[in-house]
Amino acid sequence: MKRLILFFLFLTVFFLNETFNVSDKLQPFFYRITFPFLKLRATVQEVILRFQNRIYPGDVYLGTKSVGNLFFVTGKGEGFFYILGEAEEGAIVLDPLEKRFLGIVVEKGPISKVMRVFSEDFVEKVRVENDRESVVGVVKGERVPRLSVIEDIDVTGWKVYFESEKWNVAFKEYLFIGTVAGRDEEYFLLNVTRDVPDRVIVIGVVE
């Protein structure tokens, strides 16, 4: 009887979390409580994806060394999303199919938290480039991310890439953030895709 009550409690919390947009402070609590069900959901989703012929790449290698692998996305918010499993803080998270930068791991745990460019806490160095040249800039996270560049130049229409000295060469095409949509006074505004896939690549996985 106790197990049955606990089962329904877990199930209730899980569906509440899936149905309602709980705050960032409450999300980790919900995800930790529903952890067993999230693992089951990940397994079921894997089977469904295979039936849909949506096969994601496996571990990421540089030569013979594994530098990252796939994680299942458990929940999404405006400025953050969560992945099932422990990922080192500071690791970068990429879209394995669309080849784009998704965010940075900011909390490590059974459910790890990933900060996106839509979070006000996001402030990171980027490269802004077109076919002929590139400049250094800084992206400040907001609902519409803002870009500032050092040089006095109009970069409207240019592509923006996350700047990572460690991964620039090996994963340059995966570090794409978005394009510069236009200017708003001293800042440029970015056009960034909001969608997050079912699986993501985390580069720099420790466990």
Q: What is the pLDDT of residues 175-185, one digit of tens each?
A: 999 999 999 88
Claim to verify: residue 41 and residue 73 sit in the same structural domain: no
Q: Do 37 and 84 lie in a common domain?
A: no
pTM for this predicted structure: 0.70
Do residue 114 and residue 174 come from a single domain?
yes
Indicate whether 59 pLDDT > 80: no
Which structural domain range is residue 191 located in? Answer: 57-206
For residues 179 and 106, membership in a common domain is answered with yes
**104 and 114 within one domain:** yes
Token match 């996106």: residue? 116
Whether residue 129 is found in the same domain as residue 35:
no
Predicted confidence (pLDDT) at residue 37 exceeds the cutoff of 80: no
SS3 13: helix
Q: What is the mean pLDDT of the chain?
A: 77
Q: How many domains does the chain divide into?
A: 2
Position 83 pLDDT exceeds 50 = yes
According to the model, what pLDDT value does residue 51 have? 47
pLDDT exceeds cutoff 50 at 187 = yes
Residue 206 has pLDDT above 50, yes or no: no
Q: 196 and 150 in one domain?
A: yes
**Residues 64-78: pLDDT tens digits?**
555 667 888 988 888
Query: Over 126-175, what HEC string results?
Result: EEEECCCCEEEEEEECCCCCEEEECCCCCCCCCEEEECCCCCCCCCHHHH
Residue 50 pLDDT > 60: no
